[in-house]
Amino acid sequence: MSDFNSELETRLVRYAAIDSQSDADSPSAPSTAIQHALLDLLKSELEEIGAQDVVKTDYGTVIATIPGTVPGPTVGFLAHVDTAPQFNATGVKPRVIKGYNGGAITFPDDPELTLTPEEFPYLAEKLGHDIVTASGLTLLGADDKAGVAIIMTAARHLLQNPDIPRPTMRVAFTPDEEIGRGVDARLPADLGADFAYTFDGGAVGEIEYESFSADGAVVMVKGVSIHPGLAKDKLVNAAHLASKIVMTLPHVTLTPETTDDRDGFIHLTDMNGGSSEMRLKFILRDFELDGLEAKGALLRQVCDAVAATEPRAEITCTITSQYRNMRYWLETDMTPVDLARNAARELGVEPVSVPIRGGTDGSRLTEMGVPCPNLFTGMQNIHGPLEWVSVQDMALATDLCLSILRRAGG
């Protein structure tokens, strides 16, 4: 194993400080202009370290080649540059806590916020590690800039050590993964990999080949608008009808906060508008397609029931496919999964495969013909102010990348 700690720390701090939040309501690709700053930096850095075929596509993905030295499959490694829209990601101030002492971690910009090993037991395992967090007012963006740092560090190491036996490595940094638009239809052909991996997982040992299947839903509620002083028997309040839809849906069995393990959910993410018109956005998640279909049917049924109470209103429910459980394809050929598991064991890490209660770019890539399991980075508490990652966990992930390539080359 090589000592990658210093490089990984420097890269993560540099990347995390660059604003790159995605926006689901934007039609552009990437969805936000700010993502270009990190994409352009990565393109420049890949060129500087000697990567070949470095391009930034017109759909906003940076792709490059790390030449192989032995025959073997072309192996892709991917990470996404965007950060989640669910929490403030503007003005991230990453900080490094050297040699974590096992106590509570406080945050300079929010003194009431604490990260403790009692509440988060995985932190208790990181005694002596270098812990990276944000300052308390933003998420960190280790999801997935930890993955970006890991892949960049591995690529730089290989290019500086051409004597290391490995097949060709293809690198891709995508935008908009957090809003389900990270994999353009052209990416599989442009990547040119026989199989690939996303570095977008959590705890050390996680090698995941099963994800949620996902749909998105938009419910539009149009009422009848009139001056409230003249509203008797005329006004139809869209906000009231929207509230009925939300309150009619199950609250104790099918929401994210009431489900875990292999349970799916219906999650209201946005509710905007006023008395004349309301727009509700939902995400539907289940590990099985029949369960996903049932959740969509339930949402439509609730909308129809509320619409029946007020025929003057117009309520529509539009459901669109987002991604599908990558298990459906990977379970037919577990070669990339087994390769990663054996590479982890070679490093003394026992692999753990648990279903992802979410999705990755690998979900879409696998569905589109490029088998793509997901690998650990160490990141924890993602999408919120308590997000953190261990530099030493990231170093293990970097070693895993190199070990996979070494084994792929025979």
| Residue 1 pLDDT exceeds 70 | no
Which of 241, 209, 190 shows the shortest CA–CA distance to 74?
190
Catalytic residue chosen out of the listed positions 177, 215, 361, 387: 177
261 lies in which domain range? 213-323
Q: Is 147 helix (H, G, I), strand (E, B) or coil?
A: helix
What domain count does the chain have? 2
pLDDT value of position 410: 84
* Residues 332, 202 share a domain: yes
Q: At what angle do helices 5-16 and 391-408 cross, to 10 degrees?
A: 110
Sign of the C-alpha dihedral, residues 13, 76, 143, 104? negative
Query: Max CA-CA distance within the chain?
Result: 82
Q: Is 387 a catalytic residue?
A: no
Pairing, β 75-80 against β 195-201? parallel
Catalytic residue chosen out of the listed positions 7, 9, 23, 82: 82
Distance CA 15, CA 61 (A): 16
Q: What is the residue type of 340?
A: A
Q: Provide the phi-psi class of 176: left if phi over 0, else alpha when psi is between -120 and 50, else beta.
A: left
Write the DSSP symbol of residue 236.
B
Q: How would residue 316 be classed by pLDDT, with cut points 50, 70 and 90?
A: very high
pLDDT digits (tens, 9 = 90+) for 126-181: 999 999 999 999 999 999 999 999 999 999 999 999 999 999 999 999 999 999 89
Kindly state the percentage of the chain with pLDDT values over 70: 100
0.85 surpassed by pTM: yes
* Residues 204, 255 share a domain: no
pLDDT value of position 386: 98
* Residues 163, 33 share a domain: yes
Q: Does residue 139 contact residue 84 with C-beta atoms inside 8 Å?
A: yes
* Residues 313, 231 share a domain: yes
Q: What is the CATH number of the domain that holds 26?
A: 3.40.630.10
pLDDT digits (tens, 9 = 90+) for 82-96: 999 989 999 999 999
Query: Which among 268, 289, 323 is the end of a domain?
Result: 323
* Residues 207, 217 share a domain: no
Q: Is 299 helix (H, G, I), strand (E, B) or coil?
A: helix
Q: What is the CATH number of the domain that holds 235?
A: 3.30.70.360
* Residues 330, 369 share a domain: yes
* Residues 58, 41 share a domain: yes
pLDDT value of position 22: 97
* Residues 188, 68 share a domain: yes
* Residues 120, 179 share a domain: yes
- The phi, psi pair for 15, rounded to 5°, reads -70, -40
Q: What is the mean pLDDT of residues 224-241?
A: 92
Tokens 């995508």 map to which residue?
174
Q: Is 261 a catalytic residue?
A: no
Distance CA 163, CA 161 (A): 5
Q: What is the residue type of 28?
A: S
Can you list the alpha helix ranges (DSSP code H) found in 100-172? 121-124, 142-160
* Residues 140, 222 share a domain: no
- The phi, psi pair for 282, rounded to 5°, reads -125, 155
Q: What is the mean pLDDT of residues 66-88?
A: 97
Mean pLDDT of the chain: 96
Q: What is the residue type of 395?
A: A
Query: Which among 303, 323, 343 is the end of a domain?
Result: 323
Q: Cα dist. 12→17, 161, 257 in Å?
A: 8, 22, 30
Write the DSSP symbol of residue 110.
-
| Residue 232 CB neighbours (<10 A) | 8
Using CB atoms within 10 A of its CB, is residue 50 exposed (0-12), middle (13-18) or buried (19+)?
middle
pLDDT value of position 2: 67
Q: Does residue 313 contact residue 222 with C-beta atoms inside 8 Å?
A: yes
* Residues 156, 242 share a domain: no
Distance CA 223, CA 214 (A): 30
Which of 219, 400, 193 shows the shortest CA–CA distance to 306?
219
Q: Cα dist. 362→116, 141, 231, 327, 396 in Å?
A: 32, 19, 52, 11, 21
Query: Which among 323, 350, 378 is the end of a domain?
Result: 323
Compute and round to an integer the Cα radius of gyration of the chain: 23
How far the first Cα of the chain sits from its last, in Å, is: 19
Helices (H) and strands (E) in the chain, counts: 11, 16
* Residues 185, 49 share a domain: yes
Which own/partner contact pairs does 119-127 have at CB distance under 8 Å and 24+ positions apart?
Answer: 120/380, 120/381, 120/386, 122/203, 122/380, 123/380, 123/388, 126/100, 126/390, 126/392, 126/393, 127/100, 127/101, 127/102
